[in-house]
A and B are shown apart, each in its own frame.
Chain A
Amino acid sequence: MQGPGDFEVSRRDVLKLGAAATAVPLVAKGQAGSPAEAPVSTQLSLNVNGKVHALKLDTRTSLLDALRDHLQLTGSKKGCDHGQCGACTVLVNGRRINSCLSLAVMHAGDKITTIEGLGTPNKMHAMQAAFVKHDGFQCGYCTPGQICSAVGMLSEVKANVPSHATTDLTAPCALTNPELRERMSGNICRCGAYSNIAEAIADAAGVPAAGRSA
């Protein structure tokens, strides 16, 4: 792999030299940063939805961009690209993560599951079917992330991972409505379909929805 300093002067260096020549020390962005470099690419294989893909990627490629732009798995969505909205949620080795805040190169050897791997229109995952049944969306943009997150969340409850809403840390976790909402707080729905999302997840989990008798 090429390291820093192996490359010829880039446009950014030229700009930096220009700035230095005019001697302006008060540029907010002008701190002593890393030297400018050309992109570095790397070979890796990603196991996505049971299929292994050989890829050559810029090291900067997020897992989300690898899925969407290189493997054409566009079900996972880019909302904020900063881990604040949850639209990019996928399962890595069964655990839900924000794929925008992870580098593809860090996932060689992992088993990645996206919304496309959970089910298909003809053979939906139980969580997908529950979202359809309960109308758990309006525009649908956050939905793949909501569904992947909900599937990961139910595994966490099964593994007895507590949450901020858990009243007794030493008791087994029960998926009440406040628990469900707290555990899904990393997925934002700007249409505000939350009550139907909560009902869909409760249905898929086999627990009573809020405000309804069991």
Chain B
Amino acid sequence: MRPFSYEKAATPAAAASAAAKNPHAKFIAGGTNLLDLMKLEIEKPAHLIDVNGLALDKVEATPEGGLRIGALVRNTDLAAHDKVRKDYPLLSRALLAGASGQLRNKATTAGNLLQRTRCPYFYDTNQACNKRAPGTGCGALAGFSRQLAVIGTSNTCIATHPSDMAIAMRALDAVVDTVQPDGAQRHVAIADFHTLPGDKPQVENVLKPGELITSVTLPKPVGGAQVYHKVRDRASYAFALVSVGMIVQKDGTGRLAVGGVAPKPWRVEAADAELPRGAKAVAAKLFAGAKPTHDNEFKIALTERVIEASLADLRRA
């Protein structure tokens, strides 16, 4: 790990301002992904701004009937929150499908959104990776790509976004609230928060230098039957091969976002509209324009089956 200086932030705006002044600074909250990457010298901040002391750890009702989730609310606490369990069970389920008990006790809401890909070529510093070292190429394209993305990719990067939580938030139309270095606030729909790799896979979201996530706001509950169905190589404590977060209303209409297949939580409104017609119709719209590799084309068929299984789960519920 490279040496770094360390400070505790006093206020969100002060944290953002300090980070904007130092291009080598990073925020640290739970640290479960950042420290992992710092040990491997994939992340090399020269300065850490510890935001854990900021009062961003509350879950509060909004005047619109929704829920404002502080950036520092731990994954365990969010999954266990009474209102989330009752009104947004998809979010509880997605959180509980990720990581381990120990990690969920540390991992934060904002940090979960900002976690980096687990692409093995990103993690192995001896391999070419345009995300880790722009311009060096992508070892995954002609390499082992079974775990990687099938849609939303580019010829520079086929990494997936690893978050389970973000899949639920995408299906729930969450909004990411931030503070900028000048103290101004910004509200970004989660659909627009994560970016596709294009020719800049090192850029993963729309945050500007120094900008700090302060909370994530959920709109008022949409009801319906909700399910998060994750398929992985072992029964627990593994990243998704494919995951489906789905909400279906009594009349058969609904919405879904899928994980493990794209560089961001993947949702296509035209696919939502096909839900009453079943999994095959939904998958066709979800994966229009997909560019799978030989190793990961199975994910398209697998996703269709997980959608079918999720619909069956909801019919039984």
Contacts and interface: CB of A to CB of B under 8 A. Distances in A.
A binds B: yes
Interface of A: 1-4, 25-31, 33-40, 42, 58-60, 62, 81-83, 86, 89, 95-98, 101-103, 105-106, 149, 152-153, 156, 159-164, 166, 169-170, 181-187
A38 B3 CA distance: 6
A151 to B, nearest CB: 12
A163 B96 contact: yes
B241 interface: no
Interface string B108-146: 000000000000000001111100111110000000000
Contact of A103 (B31, B102, B105): B31
A162 B97 CA distance: 11
Interface residues of B, number: 53
Contacts of B79: 161-162
Contacts of A98: 32, 102-103, 106
A92 to B, nearest CB: 8
A59 B89 CA distance: 39
Interface stretch (B41-49, B55-63, B216-224, B283-291): B41-49
A185 B236 CA distance: 6
A62 B76 contact: no
Contacts of B187: none
Given A156-B101, A164-B97, A185-B100, A37 B76 contact: no
Contacts of B235: 182, 185
Contacts of B100: 86, 185-187
Nearest to B129: A28
A40 B85 contact: no
B129 A101 contact: no
Given A96-B105, A101-B31, A162-B80, A35 B24 contact: yes
B303 interface: no
Nearest to A184: B101
Contacts of A161: 76, 79-80
Interface of B: 1-7, 22, 24, 28, 31-32, 35-36, 39, 41, 44-48, 50, 52, 76, 79-80, 85-86, 89, 92-93, 96-97, 99-103, 105-106, 125-129, 132-136, 235-237
Contacts of A4: 5, 22, 24, 46-47
* Residue of A36, A106, A163, A184 most packed against chain B (CB within 10 A): A106
B103 A164 contact: no
B103 A2 contact: no
B129 A97 contact: no
Nearest to A185: B236
Contacts of A187: 100
Contacts of A38: 3
Given A31-B133, A103-B31, A95 B105 contact: yes
B102 A97 contact: yes
B136 A28 contact: yes
Contacts of A105: 6, 50
A34 B39 contact: no
19 contacts: A1-B6, A4-B46, A28-B125, A28-B127, A29-B125, A37-B46, A42-B6, A59-B3, A83-B102, A83-B103, A97-B105, A101-B35, A156-B76, A162-B96, A164-B93, A182-B236, A185-B101, A186-B102, A186-B103
For the complex of A and B, the 4 pairs showing the least CB-CB separation, nearest first, are A186-B100, A185-B236, A34-B46, A34-B24
B127 A60 contact: no
Contact of B92 (A1, A40, A169): A169
